Chains A and B, each alone.
Chain A
Amino acid sequence: MGIVIANIIAIYRRELQSYFVSPLAYGIAGIFWFISGLFLVMILLGPGGILPTIAAYDVQGQQFGIPVPPIDVPYEFVRAFLDRISWLLLFILPILSMGLYAEERKRGTLELLATSPVTNWAVAVGKLLGVLTFFITMVLPLLGFEAIAISGSNPPMSPIIPIVGHLGLILLAAAILSLGMFISSLTDSTLLSAVLTFGVVVLLLLIDSISKVIPGPIGQAIGHLSLLKHYNTLIQGIFDSSALILFASYIILGIFLTAQSIDALRFQRQ
């Protein structure tokens, strides 16, 4: 068991190191930060953003004596921001996951990995952890910006809802990356892998609306597969065990399928 963990850590480190010397990774991070910063500023400060709108409401309420309905501004801000970020993930995550195996296949190092004494699933777990760590690194500065914004809230807000929301964000990203990793292991073209992952993720995000057409328990079961539905539950501030189980299922499924597809490689080449 210790060896397996050591193996996973070794793969994880190798994977992580590769990100820090890859110009592509920096490019992705830069674009991600720019777009999410744009979202943040637009939602919070921009014209039609939360702060100016609510300030206008308050002034109006004072002028005309209309009572302003209670609004939890930081809560709405965190929710709106996390909601927009989930759409940004659609485009960023397939790019992150596309190279995970496709790159190895292209370079011809996949056979080495497949035949190495490290078990396939350990490789998959290490790779997933690596890319997830990279993603978390990308999210951390945003968390800092949000903290700066929320710190000005009056009365102060308890951090539990943003924490659960960001946990949801990371779980969503892990589920998508895991599936993307599997798709990446099927092909040696990174572009194809990214496009396929994008398609699958869009399907999983939107499956909720498809399920509404189908009546009965089958429709409900399909609706339960929706990633977006569970993500929305979490960012609203509802801790739902079934949502966590679903995200975990996607992650496990992705790792398992990746291991299987690499396993199948051994016999395909014979």
Chain B
Amino acid sequence: MKKISKKKFANLLFLFGLFLLTLGLTVGLISEKWGILPLAFIISGFLICVVWIGLKTQQSQFWSKRSTQSTTNALVATLAVLTILGLINFLGTRYQLRLDLTETQLFTLAPQSKELLRNLPKPATVWLFTREENLLDQELLENYRRQSPNFKFEYIDPQTRPGLAEKFGVKDFGEVYLEFDNKRQLVQTIRENERLSEVRLTSRLQQIISNTTAKVYFLQGHGELEITSAKNSISQAVQGLTDKNFTALPLNLTEQTKLPEDAAVVVVAGPKRALFDGEVKALQDYLNSGGNLMLMIDPNIDPKIDNLLKDWGVKLDNRLAVDISEVSSGLGPAAPLVREYGQHPITKDFGNGISFYPLARPILINPVPDIESTPLLRTKSYPSSWAESNQQSEKLEFNEGQDLKGPLTLGVALKRKLPSPTPTASPTPTASPTPTTSPTPTTSPTPTASPTPTTSPTPTTSPTPTTFPTPTASPTPTTSPTPTASPTPTASPTEENSQNKTKESRLVVLGNSDFARDGLFQQQLNGDVFLNSVTWLSQQDQQPLSIRPKEPKNRRITMSTAKANLLSISSLLLLPFIALTTGAIIWWKRR
């Protein structure tokens, strides 16, 4: 009687042990945290089971059998071997020797990436919102992960986890985001032929770690649009900039003669009165030392900045751009609609979208060496659009000789590499008449206009024409080659930029400021024109780290037809035939 109860107790003990084991595993798996509680359950359950096995084997004479002995030996030996192999593999992954044998080190991270990852202070996660998990991408990300335990990556299907995709603002398959310290940033959009790039990922990582918000200064004091919410303000545009990680600040140049050093971009938004000479000179100095300026100048105003613009080959026309074709828009002829955009990072994604500019002035461009100019906004061609000189007249009509035929350029983006030979060093080539935009070729070449050579201590004046192959500004702006086709306006680094670390200064001139004003900013593409311009100006697409993109060695196989035929015949026919016939002969003989 006593014995039975003992047996029953033992069986109950076993069940209890199993229960504890299951409990521990369940708790651990569900909470995904292997803390003290689940571990305690598992260990106690395991111990109880061991005790039960011990009790059981004591009851039967199981151990004394020889087969049991050998089986146990085999089991123990197998377990030991498995453990040893497991440990060796564990150590093997810890102390790993990886040699990249490819000639161009395709699978090795650049030293800059390694350095950055080794000093990664907090966890950084790369989220890939795509379905197809490319092997090369994974290899690259694994390489990143090997450098730092803080680096993680995760593939997310945006359709199965829409909440997460919403959180990141995912618009399309293939978008890759970087998350660091509760900040999120788009790295790039991966496609079939555009794989994840180390250059982009590392520079994004550096940006997000260093956390530098670029400062955008708005010149004030001459009736410019206010940046705070007021009647005539661009507060919506400022809000848009803040969303893009910019800081907008007012700038008063009457108090200080120099521009702040941390100014990423300076915006002059629709001055109503002329600027002082000192202010213009400060802006000029700023531009010559690698600054970035955005000018939005309304018609019928002379801000007295012609000197500054002359260096860049830009002239503000005093006529008014009119467009009589768009009747349905209800905007009137003095608010030209723009549907045609230049080939430029700012306007790359615009397609044939609409932006409009109430009361705009055309801008004339003359090619200047070393300055690359790209017209951004173009109105329709004559007779739909022209520049009207007589704004008082009641009737809108084109007057030959006084008015300027369309298409008109309403905005232009320019950039100049520094240091570069100034226009004084090499006189401008013969003014090739630009067919579309510059109808006044007589006034265009201004080789004498040097950008304040007395005051600028920048190396702009050092003429090094032999070493610097700057693309000369193409005389036809319609076909002017943008050197980098790839960069999106949202500050994506171009691979080309990584190779030249030359500083450059950028300038965007728009013949209108109203389009960015509150109320109009949100309409059509107006806001994008402004935001993309500022983003491009801020030079965030410039490579902070000079990482060369990894490229395989260019190599071809040249094979004559005879050789190819020989290869096909011998591999496809000859060799299998020999093997099969030999096999058949042996089989026949054996029979």
Residues of A with Cβ closer than 8 Å to B?
A: 21-27, 29-31, 33-34, 36-38, 40-41, 44-45, 50-51, 54, 58, 69-75, 77, 141-142, 145, 148-150, 152-155, 157-158, 160-161, 164, 215-216, 224, 232, 236-242, 245-246, 249, 252-253, 256-257, 260, 263-264, 266-268, 270
Contacts and interface: CB of A to CB of B under 8 A. Distances in A.
Given A241-B97, A253-B82, A23 B557 contact: no
Contacts of A224: 89, 93
B82 A145 contact: no
Interface stretch (B119-127, B513-521, B562-570): B562-570
Given A70-B552, A224-B93, A236-B107, A260 B74 contact: yes
Interface in B62-101: 66-67, 70-71, 74, 77-78, 81-82, 85, 88-89, 92-93, 96-101
Contacts of B139: 236
A26 B576 CA distance: 9
B572 A37 contact: yes
B80 to A, nearest CB: 10
Contacts of A245: 88-89, 92
Nearest to B85: A249
B490 to A, nearest CB: 24
Interface string B549-578: 001111111110001101110111001111
Q: Is the interface of B mostly helix, strand, loop or mixed?
A: helix
A148 B557 contact: no
A11 B553 CA distance: 47
Given A34-B572, A164-B101, A241-B97, A246 B555 contact: no
Given A73-B557, A253-B85, A238 B92 contact: no
Contacts, number: 181
A240 B139 CA distance: 13
A23 B563 contact: no
Nearest to B554: A70
Contacts of B89: 224, 242, 245-246, 249
Question: How many interface residues does chain B have, given as a range?
Answer: 35 or more
A30 B551 contact: no
Nearest to B565: A45
A73 B556 contact: yes
B66 to A, nearest CB: 7
A112 to B, nearest CB: 20
15 contacts: A23-B586, A27-B583, A70-B553, A74-B557, A75-B102, A75-B552, A77-B557, A149-B567, A153-B558, A154-B558, A155-B553, A161-B102, A237-B100, A239-B98, A263-B74
Contacts of A216: 32
B166 interface: no
Given A242-B89, A267-B70, 17 more contacts: A30-B577, A34-B576, A37-B576, A44-B564, A44-B567, A45-B567, A50-B557, A70-B551, A72-B552, A149-B557, A153-B556, A153-B558, A154-B557, A158-B103, A240-B96, A267-B66, A268-B67
Contacts of B575: 33-34, 37, 141
A77 B559 CA distance: 14
A23 B93 CA distance: 43
Nearest to B74: A260
Contact of B93 (A33, A141, A242): A242
B37 interface: no
B3 interface: no
Contact of B563 (A148, A150, A240, A242): A148
A145 B570 contact: yes
Given A232-B135, A236-B139, A242-B92, A149 B559 contact: yes
B101 A152 contact: no
A136 B107 CA distance: 29
B375 to A, nearest CB: 24
B571 A23 contact: no
Contacts of A257: 78
B584 interface: yes
A21 B92 contact: no
Contacts of A27: 579-580, 583
B167 interface: no
Contacts of B103: 158
B134 interface: no
Contacts of A260: 74, 77-78
B477 to A, nearest CB: 21
Contact of B557 (A26, A51, A158, A264): A51
Interface string B34-71: 00000000000000000000000000000000110011
Nearest to A29: B579
B582 interface: yes
B395 interface: no
B473 to A, nearest CB: 21
Contact of B555 (A26, A31, A71, A267): A71
A263 B97 contact: no
A164 B555 CA distance: 19
B137 to A, nearest CB: 13
A158 B74 CA distance: 48
Contacts of B100: 237-238
A33 B580 CA distance: 10
A256 B577 CA distance: 38
Contacts of B586: 21-23, 26
A156 B98 CA distance: 25
A187 B552 CA distance: 49
A22 B583 CA distance: 7
Nearest to A264: B74
B89 to A, nearest CB: 6
A161 B551 contact: no
A241 B98 contact: yes
A91 to B, nearest CB: 16
Contacts of B580: 26-27, 30
B92 A23 contact: no
B590 interface: yes
Contacts of B568: 41, 45
Contact of A26 (B67, B563, B579): B579
B549 to A, nearest CB: 10
Nearest to A150: B557
B555 A72 contact: yes
Contacts of A161: 101-102
Contacts of A164: 101
Contacts of B92: 241-242, 245-246
A71 B139 CA distance: 19
* List of 9 A-B pairs having minimum Cβ-Cβ separation, nearest first: A26-B583, A37-B571, A30-B579, A70-B554, A23-B587, A34-B576, A245-B92, A30-B580, A241-B97
B67 A267 contact: yes
A153 B98 contact: no
A58 B556 CA distance: 10
Contacts of A51: 557, 559
A44 B571 CA distance: 12
Contact of A72 (B553, B567, B570, B572): B553
A41 B572 contact: yes
Nearest to A245: B92
A263 B70 contact: yes
Interface in B520-554: 551-554
B552 to A, nearest CB: 4
A180 B225 CA distance: 79
Nearest to A244: B92
